[in-house]
Amino acid sequence: MAGRYRSDLKWSDVTAKADYVNRRQLMMGAGAMAIGGALAGRAQAQDDLVPNTWEEITSYNNFYEMGTGKDDPKRNASLLTTDPWSIKIDGMVDRPGTYDLGDILRGKSIEERIYRLRCVEAWSMVVPWNGFELKDLLDQVGVQPSAKYVSFETLVRPSELPGQRRNTIDWPYREGLRLDEAMHPLTLMATGLYGEDMPNQNGAPIRLVVPWKYGFKSIKSIVRISLTDKQPANSWNMLLPNEYGFYSNVNPEVDHPRWSQATERRIGGGLFAKKIPTLMFNGYANEVASMYAGMDLRKYY
Amino acid sequence: MILTATQTINDRLRHFPTWPVYLVGALPPVWLFYLGVTGGLGVEPIKALEHRLGELALQLLIATLAVTPLRRFTGITLIKFRRALGLIAFYYITCHLLVWLFLDVQLWSQIWADIVKRPYITIGMAAFVLLIPVALTSNNWSIRRLGAPKWRRLHQLSYAAVVLGAVHFVMLTKTWEMEPALYLLGVVGLLALRLPKRRA
C-alpha cells in the first residue's frame, strides 16, 4: 500500500471564504475571467478543482431517506438529530462494539480533501470535504486476516427521515467496498465540508467518500460497519441490478442503460453550462487503476 | 337547478374568446426560461426547466382528454377551448424537446444514441412524432379537407401519444414514484371512459 494520500492544495488556497459563499455572483461578474486565469496557474496539477459553493453542495442532493427530489433533503434536513451518534462495528474485527462518535474521532487527524463528486446521473460537483481516512478507523478496530469486504449501513429512523416511510428502497441503505478499496488512502470518512460540520442533507454526522466511484457508493449517515468475507449487498444493485453494479467505478466508456456516462455537467454553470468529458476513475486513475488491473470493467460495472 | 347552473356556465363560456387562452398559454415557457437564466430554478436549472416543461405539457394533454368526459358527466362544454389546450401542449412539448437537445444533451452523437438506445427517450420521441400530424391539422381547413371521420381518426393518435408521454414520465424515475404513477392512472382512466359501453 502506498503512503498516505497528500492533497497538494486546500480549499483555502483556491477560494477565499467570501468567494465560495458567493461564487455564482462572482463568476457572473466582470472579474470572472481574471480570477479564472489566476486560479489556473495554482490549480494546474488538479486541473479543474474549483469547489462548488456551499449553497450548491447543500441544496442539490440525492439522499432518498430525506425524499427523492433533489431539493427534498435540504427541506427535511432539520428533522434529523445526530447527537448522540454511534456506529456499530462488527464482523471480522478484533475489537467489535458500538463506538460513540467521540471515540471514533479521538486521535484522528481531520484533513481537508478537495474531491470531484460524480453522480451516476451524469452531474458532478467539486467538494471540499473534511475527514479522516477510513483505514485509520479500520486499524483502530483491528481487521482480521479473513476479512475481504467492508459493508456499511445508513441510519433507519422513519420519524426523522420521512423518505423512509415509503419503501422506495429496502431500508437500511446499504453499501460495500472491497477491503483494498476501503483501505485506500483516498477513501475518506467525512465529517464536514468547508471546515464546517457536515450538514444533515450531506450525510451528517459521518459519511463515506469514495471519489473514484459514482456518488451513491459514498453512503451517508453511517450507523454500522461490518467486515465480512463475502461481497456485501448494496442498495441500488439490489433494486435495479441491470443498472447498478457493486463496483460502480466512474467509467466514461461504460454507459448506464439509461444515459451515456461519457460526459457530465458540473453543477453551478447555470442554464448554458457546457458538458465536460468524464474522466476514467473520475480523474483518480493514477491512484486507483492498479486495484482493478486485469478486471473486465464492463462486466464488473 | 343543476341544469340551469350548467346552462349559465356554458353560456358564459360561449361568450369567452379563445385568444386569451393562447396568450396565457404562451407565457409559462418564457417565464421559466427567465427564471432559469436568473437563478430562480435552483443550482441545476437545465433539468429543472426540462422537467417543468414536460410536466406542464402532460398536464395540458390530460386536460384535453378530460374535455369530453367533463361534458358527459356535468354537461359543461369546453370543446371550444380544446384545440387551444392541445396546441399549447404541443408547444410545451416542443420547448421540452428543444431544452433537451440544446441545453441538456448538447452533443449530436449522444442525442441519436439516446433516442435509439434509451427506451424512455425512444418512447418520449415517439409521442412527439405522433403529435406532429395532430398539431398540423388542428385547424378548420384540415377538418374540411380531410372530412370529419378521417380527421377524427387522425386525431385519435393523441390518445396513444398521451399514454406514451405518461409512460415516459414513469420510466424517468429511478424508484417507483407516486406522482408519475398518478398521471399514468389519470390518463388510463380518461381513456377507459371512451371505451364503447358493453351491452348488458
Q: Is residue B199 part of a domain?
A: no
Specify the DSSP element, H or E, that contains B98: helix B79-98
Cα of B180 vs its chain's centroid, Å: 14
Distance CA A143, CA A227 (A): 7
Q: For position A71, what pLDDT does the model report?
A: 94
- Please state, in angstroms and rounded to a whole number, the distance separating the CA atoms of residues A28 and A26: 5
How far off is chain B from A193, nearest CA to CA, in Å?
18
Closest chain A CA to residue B33? A271
Element (H, E) at B159: helix B157-172
Stretch B135-154: mean pLDDT: 96
Contact A263 B175 (CB under 8 A): no
Any CB–CB contact under 8 A between B107 and chain A? yes
For residue A12, what pLDDT is reported?
57
Nine-digit cell string for A79: 428533522
pLDDT bracket for residue B117 (50, 70, 90): confident
Query: In the structure grid, which three cell numbers stand for residue B185, read together?
Result: 392512472
What's the whole-model pTM score?
0.85
What would the pLDDT profile of B156-195 be if each residue is shown by its tens digit? Answer: 999 999 999 999 999 988 888 889 999 999 999 999 998 8
Question: Residues of A221-248 as b/e, b for ≥16 C-beta within 10 angstroms?
Answer: bbbbbbbbeeebebbbbeeeeeebbbbb
CB distance A56 to A128 below 8 Å: no
Contact B46 A55 (CB under 8 A): no
Report the C-alpha gap between B82 and A15 in whole angstroms. 55
Closest residue in A to B35 (Cα) is: A271
Give the pLDDT confidence score for residue A28 in this predicted structure: 47
- Note down the domain range covering B59: 2-193
Q: What is the mean pLDDT of residues A70-81?
A: 97
Q: What's the pLDDT tens digit per position in A77-97?
A: 999 999 999 999 999 999 999
Please report whether residue B113 resides in a domain: yes
pLDDT of residue A22: 57
Q: Decide if B138 is inside a domain.
A: yes
pLDDT of residue A20: 59
Chain B residues in contact with A169 by the CB 8 A cut-off are 175
Q: Report chain B's mean pLDDT, rounded to a whole number.
A: 93
pLDDT value at position A1?
A: 41
CA distance A4 to A137: 14
- Asked whether residue B46 is assigned to any structural domain, the reply reads yes
Q: Is residue A36 pLDDT above 50, yes or no? A: no
What is the DSSP code string of chain A? -------S--HHHH--HHHHHTHHHHHHSTTHHHHHHHHHHHTGGGTT--PPPHHHHHHS---GGG-SSTTHHHHHGGG---SS-EEEEEESBSS-EEEEHHHHHTTPPPEEEEEEEE-TTSEEEEEEEEEEEHHHHHHHH-B-TT--EEEEEE---TTT-GGGGSTTS-SSPEEEEEHHHHTSTT-EEEEEETTEEPPGGGTSS-EEE-TTB-GGGS--SEEEEEEESSPPP-HHHHH-TTT--SS-B--TTS-BTTB--SEEEETTSGGGPPPEEPPGGGGTHHHHGGGGTT--TTT--
The pLDDT of residue A14 is: 59
Query: What is the pLDDT, as a whole number, of residue A10?
Result: 59
pLDDT range class, residue A38, cuts 50, 70, 90: very low
Is the peptide bond prior to A257 cis by the omega test (within 30 degrees of 0)? no
Q: Pick B175's closest partner by Cβ from A71, A239, A268.
A: A239
Among A207, A242, A189, smallest CA distance to A62 is for: A207
Examine the pLDDT at A15 and tell me if it is beyond 90.
no
Which helix (DSSP H) or strand (DSSP E) does residue B70 occupy? Answer: helix B45-74
Q: Is residue B185 part of a domain?
A: yes
Q: Is B11 a domain residue? A: yes
> Nearest-CA distance from B159 to chain A in Å?
26
Residue A247 reports pLDDT greater than 60: yes
Nearest chain A residue to B173 by CA distance is A68
Mean pLDDT rounded to a whole number for chain A: 89
CB pair distance less than 8 Å for B120 and A258: yes
pLDDT for the residue B195: 86
Output the nine-digit C-alpha cell for B66: 378530460
Q: What is the pLDDT of residues A269-282, one digit of tens each?
A: 999 999 999 999 99
- Span A11-292: which CATH code? 3.90.420.10
- ipTM of the complex model: 0.85
pLDDT at A23: 52
From the number of C-beta atoms within 10 Å of its C-beta (0-12, 13-18, 19+), residue A30 rates as exposed
Which pLDDT does position A44 carry in this prediction? 35
- pLDDT value of position B2: 60
Distance CA B53, CA B57 (A): 6
Cell of A33: 475571467
Q: What is the pLDDT of residues B47-71, one digit of tens each?
A: 999 999 999 999 999 999 999 999 9
Q: Is the pLDDT of residue A29 over 70?
A: no
State the smallest CA–CA distance between residue A168 and chain B in angstroms. 6
Mean pLDDT of B17-28: 95
pLDDT at A134: 98
Task: State yes or no: pLDDT of A253 exceeds 70.
Answer: yes
Between A26 and A203, name the one with better pLDDT. Answer: A203
Q: Which residue of B has its CA nearest to A243?
A: B174
- Residue owning grid cell 451528517: A204
Confidence bin at A218 (pLDDT 50/70/90): very high
Please state at what angle helix B45-74 crosses helix B178-192, rounded to 10 degrees: 30
Quick: pLDDT tens for A119-168: 999 999 999 999 999 999 999 999 999 999 999 999 999 999 999 999 88
Asked if residue B198 is part of any domain, the answer here is no
